[in-house]
Amino acid sequence: MEAYIADWLNLLVRWLHVIAGIAWIGSSFYFIWLDDHLESPRDPDDEDRGVGGEVWSVHGGGFYRAQKYRVAPQRLPDRLHWFKWEAYTTWLSGMFLTALLYWYGASVYLIDPSVADLGAPAAVGIAIAFVAGGWFVYDLLCKSPLARDTRVFAAVLLVLTGLLAWGLCQLFSGRGAYLHFGAVLGTIMAANVFFVIIPGQKKTVAAARRGEAPDPEPGLRAKQRSVHNTYFTLPVLFVMTSNHYAMTYGHEYNWLILIGISLAGALIRSWFVDRHGGEASPLPAILAVVILATVAVAIAPRTADREAGTASFEQVRNVVNARCTSCHSAAPVHPAFPVAPLGIVFDTDEQIVADADRIYQQTVVTRVMPIGNLTAMTDEERRILEDWYLGR
């Protein structure tokens, strides 16, 4: 019953997380697009009122005119729409899922004894330190002289995120490392909203309501963090879905793959941002495609360089029964899985044969199964599966 309740919590909170994430990312992408498409106001009266730019658009059969003030209007409306709860809800639901799956279930999803022999309390403590520490390091960087040069700051950030990916992959399971890489970036994004963007907006609004000329500095800082957030978005979205792709997180060089795909995502987003402003160099998009193609070629399965063995199907059945069916069965006995993960079951010989490719890929090539090696599958047993697969 405990696992069943956990599954329902997972379902409902994940649903909320996706809905809030779509709302947050959607509004973030829209306002980046809006800023990059602003044109000088055509009406001189608008310019006299402090309007710095405007854009006309059409959607759903209606015409819209959005205007942005250089700092603030002379008189604020009674009602202002704020964009913050999307970010807060996304982060809170995401951290709840992280705690439910990767911290409460650390022995299943976070710890891999073949990577680092950590106890659950130590692993969870390290994970929390990474998530919190990532924000403090980033925030200090943003307040340092390095942030004055965009290119230098980007290079430093790339090096630090690379070290983050490498460090996480040396401590946790590949799946857990990828998820916490995204958790660090997602926390930075939400903290930017909570600690910088919204407070800056509140100062601007308060000054305008007092009839004072708002200080533009908080707005500039908020804009800087907002732009950073848009570059983090695609890497975070990748790691949110990465648990479906063991070929990435289960690879020997999973940290390098994570860096490559994250960099490609940031470059793609960079090209879109530049494109919003008009003509854009295709170089970022080309580099992103090259990186993704390089990763795909580098991790492609290789043809076995040895002859097929003589493992019998009976040996395979014994391995599967001993190491796999505690979870992958119509009636799993492992307490963490009330139903078979992904609906994959190996109760019959036909089911094993039908999923031979998946068994070989997950247990031999990527070695991500059994998850966290909970059932202690040995190297000899993996060789039996490999011999049987190659000899089919």
Both tokens assigned to 35: 């800023």
3-state secondary structure of 50: coil
Query: Quick one: angle between helices 150-171 and 254-276, nearest 10?
Result: 150
Measured CA to CA, the distance from residue 200 to residue 194 in angstroms comes to 10
Q: What is the pLDDT of residues 77-94, one digit of tens each?
A: 889 999 999 999 999 999
**Cβ atoms of 239 and 178 closer than 8 Å:** yes
Evaluate if residue 104 carries a pLDDT over 80.
Answer: yes
Confidence of residue 153 (pLDDT cuts 50, 70, 90): very high
Instruction: Using alpha carbons, list the distances in angstroms from residue 83 to 30, 186, 236, 330.
Output: 12, 16, 20, 46
Rg (CA), the chain: 25
3-state secondary structure of 37: coil
- Residue 353 has a pLDDT of 92
- Residue 3 has a pLDDT of 73
CA 184 to chain centre: 9
Confidence of residue 307 (pLDDT cuts 50, 70, 90): low
| Residue of 336, 316, 333 whose CA lies nearest to 325 | 333
Confidence of residue 208 (pLDDT cuts 50, 70, 90): confident
Q: What is the pLDDT of residues 24-76, one digit of tens each?
A: 999 999 999 998 899 999 898 888 888 999 999 999 999 999 999 988 888 88
User: What does 61-91 look like in DSSP terms, one character per residue?
Assistant: TEEEEEEEESS--SS--S------HHHHHHH
- Residue 308 has a pLDDT of 58
Evaluate if residue 16 carries a pLDDT over 60.
Answer: yes
238: number of CA atoms within 13 Å, CB side? 24
Both tokens assigned to 54: 């405007």
Query: Which range has highest mean pLDDT (201-205, 228-232, 303-307)?
Result: 228-232
- Residue 152 has a pLDDT of 94
Measured CA to CA, the distance from residue 388 to residue 329 in angstroms comes to 21
Evaluate if residue 305 carries a pLDDT over 80.
Answer: no
CB neighbours of residue 50 within 10 Å: 15
Give the start-to-end residue ranges of the domains of the chain: 2-31+83-298, 40-69, 313-390
Evaluate if residue 342 carries a pLDDT over 60.
Answer: yes
More confident call, 179 vs 311: 179
Both tokens assigned to 168: 């996480």
DSSP code, position 371: G
**Peptide bond before residue 370 is cis, with ω within 30 degrees of 0:** yes
In this structure, is the dihedral angle defined by the CA atoms of residues 64, 65, 67 and 73, taken in order, positive or negative?
negative
Torsion of CA 220, 238, 154, 135, to 10 degrees: 60
Both tokens assigned to 50: 């402090």
Evaluate if residue 304 carries a pLDDT over 80.
Answer: no
User: What does 77-142 look like in DSSP terms, one character per residue?
Assistant: -S------HHHHHHHHHHHHHIIIIIITTIIIII--TTT----HHHHHHHHHHHHHHHHHHHHHHH
Evaluate if residue 110 carries a pLDDT over 80.
Answer: yes
- Residue 212 has a pLDDT of 82
DSSP code, position 39: B
Measured CA to CA, the distance from residue 347 to residue 89 in angstroms comes to 41
**Cβ atoms of 216 and 274 closer than 8 Å:** no
Q: What is the pLDDT of residues 118-134, one digit of tens each?
A: 999 999 999 999 999 99
Count the residues in the chain: 392
Evaluate if residue 239 carries a pLDDT over 90.
Answer: yes
- Residue 303 has a pLDDT of 62
| pTM for the full predicted model | 0.88
Evaluate if residue 112 carries a pLDDT over 80.
Answer: yes
